[in-house]
Structure 1
Amino acid sequence: MIWPVILAATLVTAFISGIFGMAGGLILMGVLALLLPVSAAMVTHGAIQSVANGWRAILWRRFIDWRVLGIYLGGSALAFALLIGFAFEVSKPWLFILLGLVPALIWIPKQYLSLDARRPGHAVLCGFSVTGLNIVAGVSGPLLDIFFVADGMDRRTIVATKAATQVAAHAAKIAFYLAPALAGGALAQWQWLLAAAPLAILGTTLGARVLDLMSDANFRKYTKWIVTGVGLVYVIRGVMLLS
């Protein structure tokens, strides 16, 4: 059965997400894409990550920048309203390639793309682009990070606010793919998702304890290299599937 594997991946990736935010979600999406049809992988990933991010937001709720979150949601709603009129689903090879290319966004020098989610216009753009990419590729953490690399933001504020924004992005993804996922029958054993929820919470809680011990410099450095390595593996996998 594939669901025990998914549950184990949920625990491990939630732990990684509790420390590095986007890295765990990127790994989990790859695992799900290997095991499930694309639409089912999107819904499952969205459900698990909503729990993990939601719990992380609760753990660090005193650090959430609520003004940024409110403006972000406006851009997120706009992206969903635009995309809901289109019916599309990327193939598995291109899904892996997209997953692999997304981390490249974090290597864009700040002087060429200086974005700050604390600016209202940038927060709207963040919500629009992050939600749009999340619906198309399944993950959007590296793009989200571009809006949260400005100096002066505490690592806990970054993790907490990003977690809250990702709950909204994953909810939009679930709404977009739920109908085709149910029609395909891959979610017939949806009750397994109920077991995934406490594992996502446990992994996130354990990861948060590690994050609290980590310096801001190490947090940024390790996140960058981890997601880049995972992205390279995904690009290779996608190219192999195309050949």
Structure 2
Amino acid sequence: MALASLIMLVPVVLVTSFLSGIFGMAGGLLLLWFLFLVAPASTAIAVHGIIQMVSNGSRAWLSRRYLDLKILAIVSLGLLLAMGCLFAVQYSPNKAIALMVIGLLPLLLWIPASWLTFDASRPSHAFACGLISGALTVMVGSAGPLIDLFFIRTKLDRRVVIATKATIQVVAHFTKVVFYINAALMLDAMGWTTVALCIPAAFLGAWLGKFVLDRMSDLQFRSWTRMIVTCIGFAYFVQGTSAVLSA
């Protein structure tokens, strides 16, 4: 990554972690979009994974008393199985396709509940969530909107949703860092220094976001999440389509 991009990364992480602290995933999508602009796909996904492990880990720790361990365990099994399958076929990412796929994911949040209802509190649904989101996390770098589909229509308290989703995403980001470890190791000293500076920025953003989350209602949380993530997804899709057409 260029020096200018590295300098911009720390404030970008602070802002995106703040958004993630409120909505659970919007910030992570914005951060990945920025990284795709300034780095090759595999490097962008690896760096995103390292930073998001801290950001999501911060949210998970701050909300740890609301964590649903049963859901976490079942989803994690699916995540690990998905990573193993992609490792076996030696998958390699394509940036344009990744942008388009991520751009389409928010559409899932607008599917009427009567058409397709997922509930992460049901074991079979939790395993499917882990398997599908694990595959997408490794393949395109993010699966936040898909994970949200399994939570947004549950009867879980918003704080349980944030805590459990954040911990699931820690596991998901860990799997993609392991998958792209060679790309991560290619960072130079300046790159690793910047990533290190992003860690406290990620924690601070998550901590600030929690104050806003605590003052929101469950209805506000769910409605704002869908609108913001959909807008971000539209930007992804436009950029991905442009990249495919210009190739």
Give the TM interval when normalised to the shorter protein.
over 0.9
Q: Is the 8 A contact 1:25 1:49 kept in 2?
A: yes
The answer to whether 1:17 aligns with 2:25 is: no
Count how many residue pairs are aligned between Structure 1 and Structure 2.
241
**What's the counterpart of residue 134 of structure 1?**
137
SS at 1:190 equivalent: helix
The answer to whether 1:198 aligns with 2:206 is: no
How far apart in 1 are the matches of 2:135 and 2:243?
A: 25
Q: Is the 8 A contact 2:22 2:212 kept in 1?
A: yes
Q: How far apart are residue 111 of structure 1 and its match?
A: 1.6
Q: For 2:180, which of 177, 192, 196 is the aligned residue?
A: 177
SS at 1:111 equivalent: coil
Q: Is the 8 A contact 1:105 1:142 kept in 2?
A: yes
* Structure 1 residue runs without a partner (length 5+): none
1:132-189 deviation digits (Å, cap 9, x = unpaired): 111111111110011112342110000000000000000011111111443xx34552
**What's the counterpart of residue 112 of structure 2?**
109
**What's the counterpart of residue 70 of structure 2?**
67
Q: Is the 8 A contact 2:74 2:127 kept in 1?
A: yes
How far apart in 2 are the matches of 1:180 and 1:49?
A: 16
1:44-90 deviation digits (Å, cap 9, x = unpaired): 10011100001100000000111111111111121111111122333
Residues 210-219 or 232-241, more deviating? 232-241
The answer to whether 1:155 aligns with 2:158 is: yes
**What's the counterpart of residue 95 of structure 1?**
98
Q: Is the 8 A contact 1:134 1:170 kept in 2?
A: yes
Q: Residue type matched to 1:31 in 2?
A: F
Residues 215-224 or 143-152, more deviating? 143-152
SS at 2:92 equivalent: coil
Q: Percent identity?
A: 43
The answer to whether 1:43 aligns with 2:46 is: yes
Q: Residue type matched to 2:236 in 1?
A: Y
Residues 112-121 or 86-95, more deviating? 86-95
1:113-149 deviation digits (Å, cap 9, x = unpaired): 2111111111111111111111111111110011112
How far apart in 2 are the matches of 1:214 and 1:79?
A: 34
Q: Residue type matched to 1:210 in 2?
A: V
Q: Residue type matched to 2:143 in 1?
A: S
SS at 1:118 equivalent: coil
**What's the counterpart of residue 219 of structure 2?**
217
Residues 10-19 or 141-150, more deviating? 141-150
SS at 2:19 equivalent: helix
The answer to whether 1:240 aligns with 2:242 is: yes
How far apart in 2 are the matches of 1:86 and 1:174?
A: 17
Q: Residue type matched to 1:119 in 2?
A: R
Q: Residue type matched to 1:179 in 2?
A: N
Q: Is the 8 A contact 1:181 1:187 kept in 2?
A: no
CA RMSD of aligned residues (A): 1.3
* Structure 2 residue runs without a partner (length 5+): none
How far apart in 2 are the matches of 1:75 and 1:215?
A: 31
- With over 3 angstroms needed to count, the CA separation of the structure-2 counterparts of 1:149 and 1:210, relative to structure 1, is same
How does the TM-score come out when normalised to structure 1?
Answer: 0.95
Q: For 2:80, which of 69, 77, 80 is the aligned residue?
A: 77
Residues 83-92 or 128-137, more deviating? 83-92
SS at 1:152 equivalent: coil
